[in-house]
Amino acid sequence: MFKSSCLLIISCSEKVKQKIGEYRMGESHDSVKSKRIVFVTVGTTCFDSLVRAVDTQESTGEDGSLSVDYFTFSSSIAEYLKSASLVISHAGSGSIFETLRLKKPLIVVVNEDLMDNHQSELAEELAERNHLFCVFPQTLYQTISGMDLGSLVAYQPGDATPVANFINRFLGFNDE
């Protein structure tokens, strides 16, 4: 699924990391820059099915030449996002918008195990507007094989000013 020139960085739960066993470090730092990076994040949730879908034998190449790095928590993922050429994320609105703001190609994976999955509404709506791809863990592989990143439309960040103006007018502050 991913070419061997990719570096796969996965943020996942401690439990999953231990289950998978040793972490396979990337090669020396010099070669890191020449690799394309796919960043996979599950936010602060437990989304083991995504990690399993990504970290399969077929996705990492038979010869294990794909470099994979794991971490459980980072106070800011902005740096990882900036250096990624593709982001695969859970459906959290924070992760989604942080990625869209950096104009990175984004695949959102919906976690069916979550109760009251209102998050998927946002992912589906943005997918309908062609800002990202929205999939389930089982369909991740097919989507990546067949996707056309050129069909994605950039997301224009909005602005909170209309709300502020409304509040001001409501309270009697007249600006005009």
Partner 1 sequence: MDNRYSCFFSDMGFLNVAISFIIGISTLIMIRIFYVVYRSSKPLYSRPPGTLSTLIILGSGGHTAEMINLLAVMQMDRFKPRYYIAAATDNMSLQKARVLEDSLPDKAEVELVGTSQFMQIYRSREVGQSYVTSVGTTLIALSHALWLMIKIRPQVILCNGPGTCVPLCVIAFVFKVLGIRWSSIFYVESIARVRRLSLSGLLLYKLRMADQLFVQWPQLKSKYPRANYVGLFQVANFRLYWTSEETEVANHRIFQIKYD
Determine, following the binding rule CB under 8 A, whether residue 29 of this chain makes contact with partner 1: yes
Contact 111, 117 (CB under 8 A): yes
Selection from 7, 14, 84 nearest residue 42 by Cα = 14
Strand partners, 9: 39, 69
Nearer to partner 1, 11 or 111 (CB): 11
Determine, following the binding rule CB under 8 A, whether residue 22 of this chain makes contact with partner 1: no
Strand partners, 55: none
Stretch that binds partner 1, among 48-56, 64-72, 105-113, 145-153 (CB under 8 A): 64-72
Contact 119, 150 (CB under 8 A): no
Judged by DSSP in three states, 169 sits in helix
Determine, following the binding rule CB under 8 A, whether residue 171 of this chain makes contact with partner 1: yes
Judged by DSSP in three states, 38 sits in strand
Determine, following the binding rule CB under 8 A, whether residue 76 of this chain makes contact with partner 1: yes
Stretch that binds partner 1, among 9-17, 57-65, 106-114, 133-141 (CB under 8 A): 9-17
Determine, following the binding rule CB under 8 A, whether residue 169 of this chain makes contact with partner 1: yes
To partner 1, the closest distance from the beta carbon of 173 in angstroms equals: 5
Distance from C-alpha of 93 to C-alpha of 71, rounded to nearest angstrom? 21
Distance from C-alpha of 127 to C-alpha of 108, rounded to nearest angstrom? 9
Among 92, 111, 135, 140, binds partner 1 (CB under 8 A): 92
**Residues interacting with partner 1, by CB under 8 A?**
9, 11, 14, 23, 26, 29, 32-33, 41, 43-44, 69-80, 83, 92-95, 97-98, 100-101, 118-119, 121-122, 124-125, 157-164, 166-174
